[in-house]
Structure 1
Amino acid sequence: MRIGITGHRGLPDEVEQRVRQELAEAVKAYPPDELVGVSCIADGPDAWFARSVLDRGGRVEVVIPAAEYRNSLPGWHHVTYDEILDRASDVHHTGLDEPTSQAHMAGSELLVGLVDEVLAVWDGQPARGYGGTADVVAYAQRIGVPVRVLWPEGATRD
């Protein structure tokens, strides 16, 4: 089973802990030898999901939206990004160079095209910018890829 991830970055600490638990529980539903997680491994749900898949004994494939993508992520996240990337069983590239909103959406579209289901850490609100979680969810639904929303009850982003 190939599972993709999309989700909000910069969540408050309390919400982060609840989301991490929900992601770990979601991953436990799949047999480790059949589990392939697909992620862009940004800070937040992307990386938490990838770690949960690896901890479960599954494989991780990474989608890199742009050649300069890593440099657009927070410096404190680079070690985690590099560790997960080093453990990836496959890496997919969009072929784009600059980490623009369009490149992020292209990466998400590539990810959605690779998976059987998308987990979305999504509050149900519209995207705050092109290529945000809501846009990825809408794209997946438009092309018929099932989406399972994981959002803790009563949680807020701000």
Structure 2
Amino acid sequence: MTTLAVTGHIDLTEETVPLVRAALREVLAPYSEDLTGVSCIAAGADSLFAEEVSAIGGRLVVVVPSLDYRTAVVKPEDAAVYDHLNETAMEVVTLPFEIADRTAYEAANAELLKRADRLVAVWDGTPPSGNGGGTADLVEEAGRAGVPVDVVWPDGAARRG
């Protein structure tokens, strides 16, 4: 059994979504049904990863950063996917933070890393912002922890804004 965790950008362009989905399929293919995927199922990379893990018959573990995450962070247009992934997960771990803030995101990242054999990073290589809890921060933490990282950023991929 291999456990892959994911980190990645939420602000993928519409044109980038199919590129990232195809690249994730390639990364996940060797694991087939012997896979557990761990994700915070945020919009963008996290939910794409979770959908692809489920599509190949893998088991999904969801890490929810805070008690208010669903109501405070999940946008109405992302709610159906978020709810579906939560409902189909084999395990949902909700961290005990009242509000979704950097502390909660950093704790969620730590939980992802604790469970991971490998980290899949849908990441454009942008360095950490200095705010903590982001994609680049988790990539750096994985490196320090000795967790291998598979970076996914296909040619032509871009972020909004």
Aligned 1:90-129 pairs, distance under 5 A: 90-128=91-129, 129=131
Q: Name the SS for the 1:13 alignment partner.
A: coil
Instruction: Provide structure 2 residue ranges, at least 5 long, that are not aligned to the other structure.
Output: none
Aligned residue in 2 for 1:151: 153
Aligned residue in 1 for 2:62: 62
Aligned residue in 2 for 1:40: 40
Count of residues in correspondence between the two structures? 157
Deviation digits for residues 3-52 of structure 1 (CA, Å, limit 9, x no counterpart): 000001111122222111101221111131x1100000001111111110
TM-score, length-normalised on structure 2? Answer: 0.92
TM-score, length-normalised on structure 1? Answer: 0.94
Instruction: Provide structure 1 residue ranges, at least 5 long, that are not aligned to the other structure.
Output: none
Q: Name the SS for the 2:31 alignment partner.
A: coil
| Aligned mates of 1:87, 1:155 — CA distance in 2 | 29
| Aligned mates of 1:21, 1:101 — CA distance in 2 | 30
- 8 Å contact kept, 2:20–2:157: no
Aligned residue in 1 for 2:133: 131
Aligned identity (percent) is: 39
Q: Name the SS for the 1:29 alignment partner.
A: helix
